[in-house]
Amino acid sequence: MSFVFIFAIVIDGVYQFIVFRWFYPGEALTVAIVLAIVPYLQIRGLANSIARDWIQSKGRESNPAIKSSGPV
């Protein structure tokens, strides 16, 4: 995740130099957080949720003694 964050700051810095001819560190941090970290956390949360559901369903299928009583 740190590589993505640093890469987002570098890309935004290049953009700022091209467009504004100056570097604004506060803006670079804000853009890096909004465009790199927030989507990362959202995708990670979704992937964890899918993996947890998949693992729980595999456990029920492999052990017939466990009866599914609906959503847990």
Residue whose pair of structure tokens reads 């599914």 in the numeric block = 68
What pLDDT is stored for residue 60 in this prediction?
A: 62
pLDDT tens for the chain, 72 residues long, are 688 889 999 999 999 999 999 999 999 999 988 988 888 889 999 999 999 988 888 766 665 555 555 565
Q: What phi and psi, each to the nearest 5 degrees, are found at residue 57?
A: -70, -35
| Structure-block tokens of residue 30 | 């804000």
What pLDDT is stored for residue 40 in this prediction?
A: 87
- pTM (two decimals): 0.57
What pLDDT is stored for residue 57 in this prediction?
A: 84
3-state SS string for the chain:
CHHHHHHHHHHHHHHHHHHCCCCCHHHHHHHHHHHHHHHHHHHHHHHHHHHHHHHHHHHHHHCCCCCCCCCC
